[in-house]
Amino acid sequence: MIDIINLTQSAKSYKSKVFFSFIIFAVLMLASTTIVHIYFTKQNIKDEFKIQSSLQAKDKAIYLNNFIQKRVDTINAVKNNPYFAQFIDFENYKHNTNFLFFTIIEENKDFMQLRYIDEFGDEKLRFDRKVIGSVAYKIAHLQNKKNRYYFKETKKLKQNEIFVSKIDFNIENGKVQEPKIPVVRISTPIYRLDEFKGILIANIFIDDFIAQFTNSLVFDISLIDEQNNIIYQHDKYITNKAFSTPIKHIKNESMIDDGNRYVKKLMMYNLVVYICLNKNSKIKQQMLENYIYMTTIILLITFMLAFLYMYIVSKPVNNIFKIVIDKSNQLYKQANELKQRVDEEILKNKTKDTMIEHQAKMTELGDMISNIAHQWRHPITRISLVLQNLKLFKKQNILDDERFENSLMIAQEQIEFMSSTIDNFREFYRSNHDKINFSIKQSFIKILNIIDAEIKNKGILVNIKDNKNINIYGSQNLFMQAILTIVINSKDAFVENSTKNPKIEITINQKEDKVIIKIRDNAGGINEKIAKKIFEPYFSTKGTKGTGVGLYLSKRIFQDSFNGSIEFANIQYGSCFTIIIKK
């Protein structure tokens, strides 16, 4: 039901909204007029600002290029060092390479880190320093960086190409270091005979660089990255704050905010950064003083007109809100009736599902007894034969110790096989829905072991193709129950159709985040007229011999327990069930 109190409060606040809307509209009109006036009367100030800011931005671009290029030259010098090459190829000259890294990082006081990361993303050699100019030291506890963006991006480059990261804060063990340390990363891929061997990367302290880069007596300078995030503004680092104007469309330079700010795009290798120069505050103050008196008078007139407008417009509001309340009460009543119907249908569906699950369990119990009987038939026959032999040996007075022990051993083996069969069936049919990582191939093998006697008795050839031994997460028992239904249906179809050379082929593959299982047979397929109904409850292709719940429950298991699906299609000589499971 609608909240009458809140609706009443909304009605009361409507007048205030009308009043302030008129005020805002008037202020916007005033601001527009002011901006147009400034544009035409202060064009010379804008032109002068553009020229000065453009010259300043060019100087900053040269300073940035020189800074980056000097560090790139250092990285290339290390990469081309023969000791370092021997270290990569044969892990020789470890001492010389350590000394090389130490010397380079000591020579360059703004190097925060110098690292060699192999092709697998593992750090193999790393020297660090905590602050600019401090003594460098070797890091013993190395990390894997294969998932870091700079490793992935550098790995894509060709030989001798350079990657320059965006300006960000240093991250160790998945967390931003505190206090925040602004860095830029410069890296290059390492190849040997066109084979990728890793990357050489340096983390550069840029705190001093940014301080010098943004220093100006004339302008307030801000840095913005390519994603429109402010990096540095008003002499401090900024996080999680977007620049007020989208800059991705700026190809080179642009005047924004009606000429109050100048933005220029600076590029060095793949590093893209925008520099924003703001007008001097004295100019802004001068423009404000010229219009403050006129703005005050206009605002006073606007307030008086807003009160009059609010009275005229808000008069019919009470009638409108009354109509809204009446309609809301009607909708609330209809919603309650609909909810009651939905609850009743849900209860009916739950009752039906419970009956189906009970019927399926009774069917599984009958299948279990039948399968145990098949599995036990051979060992019981062998035990009976052993007993008959013992009786015959005794009657002929030729039962010696050796024959007696051999007969006992054969009987014991058959009894252990029968016990193992009971354990296998009990493990499969027990109510254990715990979720684990399990092998799909091994699940099929367990199923085939359970119905091994019937498979062999019918002469059915089963082939499983899974070269990667793919695992999935979920209830293995539920999974096995679902696929058992499909395999048994194929077995029954072979018998019904008297198939020659019966064969079941199971293929297991993975494509991206999906596991695809196909179960094919050559049992003749299913009539296309009824194929669409095989997943419906109580529909069976076996007539009175089937319950019609097996494939329905299999579909529910794959959908509800594995976030997957199952589909059927007739193929040449038989049927194909396709199971798709998202990992």
467 with 539, same domain: the answer is: yes
pLDDT tens by residue, 504-525: 999 999 999 999 999 999 999 9
Segment 172-195 mean pLDDT: 84
pLDDT at 244: 83
pLDDT at 431: 56
Task: Please tell me the distance from the alpha carbon of residue 293 to that of residue 14, in angstroms, as a whole number.
Answer: 31
Burial of 297 (0-12, 13-18, 19+ CB in 10 A): exposed
Residue 47 lies in a domain: no
CATH number of the domain within which 120 lies? 3.30.450.20
CATH number of the domain within which 464 lies? 3.30.565.10
144 with 98, same domain: the answer is: yes
pLDDT at 288: 66
Burial of 279 (0-12, 13-18, 19+ CB in 10 A): buried
pLDDT at 382: 61
CB 232 within 8 A of CB 214: yes
User: Dihedrals φ, ψ of 148, to 5°?
Assistant: -75, 145
27 with 90, same domain: the answer is: no
Segment 154-179 mean pLDDT: 83
Least confident of 55-59, 294-298, 332-336, 415-419: 415-419
Look at residues 210, 235, 262 and tell me which one is the last residue of a structural domain.
Answer: 210
pLDDT confidence band for 285 (50 / 70 / 90): low
Higher pLDDT, 475 or 406: 475
Higher pLDDT, 316 or 553: 553
pLDDT at 430: 56
11 with 122, same domain: the answer is: no
Segment 536-543 mean pLDDT: 70
Look at residues 158, 178, 210 and tell me which one is the last residue of a structural domain.
Answer: 210
Highest mean pLDDT among 16-20, 231-235, 277-281, 409-413: 231-235
pLDDT at 527: 87
95 with 147, same domain: the answer is: yes
Residue 274 lies in a domain: no
Residue 305 lies in a domain: yes
Specify the DSSP element, H or E, that contains 199: strand 195-205
454 with 561, same domain: the answer is: yes
Percent of the chain with pLDDT over 70: 78
Biggest CA-to-CA distance, the chain: 134
pLDDT at 310: 67
Residue 91 lies in a domain: yes
Distances 230 to 44, 233, 279, 435 between C-alpha atoms, Å: 30, 7, 18, 46
443 with 568, same domain: the answer is: yes
pLDDT confidence band for 335 (50 / 70 / 90): confident
Burial 176-197 (b: 16+ CB within 10 A, else e): eeeeebbbbbbbbbbeeeeebb
Chain centroid to Cα 267, Å, comes to 31
pLDDT at 128: 94
Residue 20 lies in a domain: yes
pLDDT at 104: 94
Report the candidate in 123, 127, 130 with the shortest Cα–Cα distance to residue 181: 130
Residue 8 lies in a domain: yes
106 with 178, same domain: the answer is: yes
Whether the pLDDT of residue 462 is over 90: the answer is yes
What is the number of domains present in the chain? 3
Specify the DSSP element, H or E, that contains 336: helix 317-395
Round the average pLDDT of the chain to a whole number and report it.
Answer: 82
- Omega of the bond prior to 82 within 30 degrees of 0, cis? no
Look at residues 170, 188, 210 and tell me which one is the last residue of a structural domain.
Answer: 210
pLDDT confidence band for 115 (50 / 70 / 90): very high
Burial 475-486 (b: 16+ CB within 10 A, else e): bbbbbbbbbbbb
pLDDT at 247: 82
Q: Position of tokens 């005033």? A: 30
127 with 33, same domain: the answer is: no
Residue 343 lies in a domain: no
Distances 55 to 19, 237, 253 between C-alpha atoms, Å: 48, 25, 12
Task: Please tell me the distance from the alpha carbon of residue 29 to that of residue 36, in angstroms, as a whole number.
Answer: 11
Pair type for strands 461-465 and 503-511: parallel
User: Dihedrals φ, ψ of 27, to 5°?
Assistant: -65, -40
pLDDT tens by residue, 217-255: 888 899 988 888 888 888 888 888 888 888 877 888 888
The parent domain of residue 185 ranges over 74-210
Whether the pLDDT of residue 436 is over 60: the answer is yes
26 with 90, same domain: the answer is: no
pLDDT confidence band for 123 (50 / 70 / 90): very high
526 with 571, same domain: the answer is: yes
User: Dihedrals φ, ψ of 162, to 5°?
Assistant: -120, 140
Q: Position of tokens 């083996």? A: 413
Q: Position of tokens 């990469």? A: 79
Residue 36 lies in a domain: yes
What's the one-letter identity of residue 140?
A
Least confident of 106-115, 222-231, 334-343: 334-343
Q: What SS3 class is residue 161?
A: coil
Report the candidate in 520, 554, 525 with the shortest Cα–Cα distance to residue 541: 525
The structure tokens listed for 116 are: 């060699």
pLDDT at 119: 95
The structure tokens listed for 435 are: 């979720």
Whether the pLDDT of residue 314 is over 80: the answer is no
Segment 525-548 mean pLDDT: 75
Whether the pLDDT of residue 362 is over 70: the answer is no
9 with 117, same domain: the answer is: no
**Strand locations in 326-470, DSSP E?**
435-439, 461-465
Which pTM does this prediction carry?
0.44
Q: What angle do CA 152, 158, 162 make, to 5 degrees?
A: 70
